Amino acid sequence: MNRSLPIIIVAIVAVVAIGSGVVLYRAKSQPVLTAPKEASSPAGKAAEPIQSRGPAGAPVTLEEFGDFQCPPCGRFSEPINEMARAYKEKLRIVFREMPLPMHQHARLAAEAAEAAGLQNKFWQMHDLIYREQAQWSTATDAHVIFNSYAGVLGLDLTRFNKDMSGPQVQERLAVDAARAKELGVTNTPTIFVNGTQVAGTSLNPGGVRAAIDAALNQKPQK
C-alpha cells in the first residue's frame, strides 16, 4: 500500500472543508436588501405604473423582481399565485420586470407581458409565459409564439404588436429598472416582503410564506 495515500486523502479533505467554508461564508456575508413597504414613487411624484394585484391597503406587500426566462422565477410563479389565493385581501403582490442580458428572449417576454397589460391581461400573460417557459426560451422566433399567446388571450393583435415596442411599455421597463438600481437588486428572483428581502436559504416558497406570516403577526409600531 502506498504510504503517502493517507496523507493525500487528509489533504484533499482539508481542501474540500476549506472550500465549503468559503462558500458558506460568502453566502452568509451577502447583504440583505431593504426597501420601503410601498412600491410607489417618492412623495410629490406621480404614481408609478406598476403591475400589482391585491388591495393597495393590504397589511403585507410582496414585491418580486422577475425575469421571464429565469428558471427559478418560473418555479416561483405558481407558488406565488397560491399565496395570492391563500392570503386574499391580506396580501398585495407587485411584479417588477427585470429581464437579464444573458437571457436572449427575456426582454421580449417582458414587453409581451406589459403589452398585454395595456389590454388588462398582464397577469394572464404573466402566468402563460411562465407556464410555457420551456417552449419559447429555445425558440428561434419567440415573437411569433408571444403573438400566439396574445391570440389565446383574445387580445387585439395589431395593438399588441404596436404596444410591445411602444413608449408605454418601454416606460414600464425603465421604471422597474430604476427601482432595481435604487434598491441594489442585481439578480432574479429577488423578493421583498414588507420591504425586507427574503434571501439565502429562505428564498423558497416556504420561506416566503414564513416571511408573510411573520409580517402579519408583527405588531404595528405606535
Query: pLDDT tens digits for 6-24?
Result: 443 334 334 334 343 433 3
CATH 3.30.420.40 is the classification of domain 51-217: no
Question: What percentage of the chain has pLDDT greater than the value 90?
Answer: 75
Q: How do residues 95-119 score in pLDDT, each as one tens digit?
A: 999 999 999 999 999 999 999 999 9
User: What local confidence, expressed as pLDDT, does residue 34 receive?
Assistant: 66
Q: 3-state SS string over the chain? A: CCCCHHHHHHHHHHHHHHHHHHHHHHHHHCCCCECCCCCCCCCCCCCCCCEEECCCCCCEEEEEEECCCCHHHHHHHHHHHHHHHHHHHHEEEEEEECCCCCCCCHHHHHHHHHHHHCCCCHHHHHHHHHHCHHHHCCCCCHHHHHHHHHHHCCCCHHHHHHHHCCHHHHHHHHHHHHHHHHHCCCCCCEEEECCEEECHHHCCHHHHHHHHHHHHHCCCCC
Q: How do residues 23-72 score in pLDDT, each as one tens digit?
A: 333 333 346 666 654 443 333 344 466 899 999 999 999 999 999 999 99
User: What local confidence, expressed as pLDDT, does residue 194 receive?
Assistant: 97
Per domain, the residue ranges of the chain are 1-30, 51-217
Mean pLDDT of the chain: 85
